[in-house]
Amino acid sequence: MSYPFEGITVIDLSQIYNGPYATYLMALGGATVIKIEPPGGEPLRRRGVVGGAALPFAMLNGCKASIVLDLKTEAGKDALKGLVRKADVLVENFAPGVMDRLGVGYDTLRQINPNLIYAASSGYGSDGPYRNYPAMDLTIQAMGGVMHITGFPDRPPVKAGPAMADFFACHPDIRVDMIIDDNLTDIVAERIDAGIRFGDIVEKDMIAVRIGPDIRMAVVGAPSYFADHPVPRTPRELSGHRCINYRRVRSGWVYAWDFEDKGRPFQVRVEGPLAFNNGDLIREAALAGHGIAYVYDDEVAADVSAGRLTRILEKWCPTFPGYYLYHPSRRQTPPALAALIAALHYRR
């Protein structure tokens, strides 16, 4: 069987996601792709060393040959020019002007190989007012407004955890529809591709992939509340306090607060005048002194540090295994879902 790019040699100087994905597709199409990295490896490889991105790097750079060249040295530049003489395509995604400053820009390489196809990509193009702006996932999320709708309403913008801009740039044909629901939806019966839950409540017949860190819970109250009420010393003493509950809308179910004592889990059902189905409203009610709240620790860390809230019962508060994306094990995984799982996969 013949491949569309068979006999084509590609020099790949690109890094991170933009570029490596294009050259990976060319490699799958039969091209001979030679991946060139600086000493120490390209940024995505280096992230993998500290637990960041080993899997994406391996996926985007499969089916390629790999060599190290230091283009800041004459020997490295001469080696690149030697490869270019026999190549058909060169791909790079450095900031505009970098290749020229290194002495191996388009004009130089075309003199060596007039038939060379030189493909350069940058976030904002080779000219215009944003020409020199970096275009990493973080900055694209900021420029595109994604960070405006994440995080907390009274705090600075927060980057979305997954590399969303990179993902949709690599997969422009994939559409992701998200349904936020606090009920335990049966994704098989509803014909939903995947769901997200805490790891300890995912059904055993599902394939589960961790997409976030462990989550610690916290019990908090405002100093104004504790000025008029004694601080409970054990979870059982919460029965005498005004507690702010979480209630599911559809079922009316009220969440029982989880605790643990020397590794043994137990629950306490609390009473109070307020119940919400929104964590932000629970936090706001606690800040206003309306009672004691049971919340995610990271959501109130800034309030605790600033003295607006006080943690209590810390030694009883459990840590849960965080969020997992899960999907049916008896159903073939669609390619689009597999790509999304790879992008969301949590790396410690």
Q: What is the pLDDT of residues 259-291, one digit of tens each?
A: 999 889 999 999 999 999 888 899 999 999 999
- What is the C-alpha to C-alpha distance for residues 153 and 297, in angstroms, rounded to an integer? 17
- What is the C-alpha to C-alpha distance for residues 270 and 261, in angstroms, rounded to an integer? 18
- Which pLDDT value is given to residue 13? 97
Catalytic residue among 166, 186, 258, 261: 166
Question: Across residues 4-15, what is the average pLDDT?
Answer: 95
- Which pLDDT value is given to residue 65? 95
Contact 120, 126 (CB under 8 A): yes
- What is the C-alpha to C-alpha distance for residues 39 and 71, in angstroms, rounded to an integer? 10
Question: Across residues 27-54, what is the average pLDDT?
Answer: 80
Question: Across residues 159-164, what is the average pLDDT?
Answer: 77
Active site residue 166: yes
Question: Across residues 63-86, what is the average pLDDT?
Answer: 96
Ordered domains of the chain (ranges, CATH): 9-120 (3.40.50.10540), 137-170 (no CATH), 215-320 (3.40.190.290)
Question: In this structure, which long-range contacts are made by residues 305-311, counting pairs with CB atoms below 8 Å and at least 24 apart in sequence?
Answer: 307/223, 308/222, 308/223, 309/220, 309/221, 309/222, 310/220, 310/221, 310/222, 310/223, 310/226, 310/231, 311/218, 311/219, 311/220
Question: Across residues 286-305, what is the average pLDDT?
Answer: 95
- Which pLDDT value is given to residue 50? 47
Residue 250 or 119, more confident: 119
Range of lowest pLDDT (98-102, 159-163, 254-258): 159-163
pLDDT at 52 over 50: no
Q: Which residues of 217-226 are buried (b: 16+ CB within 10 A; e: fewer)?
A: bbbbbbeebb
- Which pLDDT value is given to residue 45? 80
CA angle 234–235–238, rounded 5-degree value: 105
pLDDT at 345 over 60: yes
- Which pLDDT value is given to residue 6? 94
pLDDT at 54 over 70: no
Strand 310-312 to 32-37 pairing: unpaired
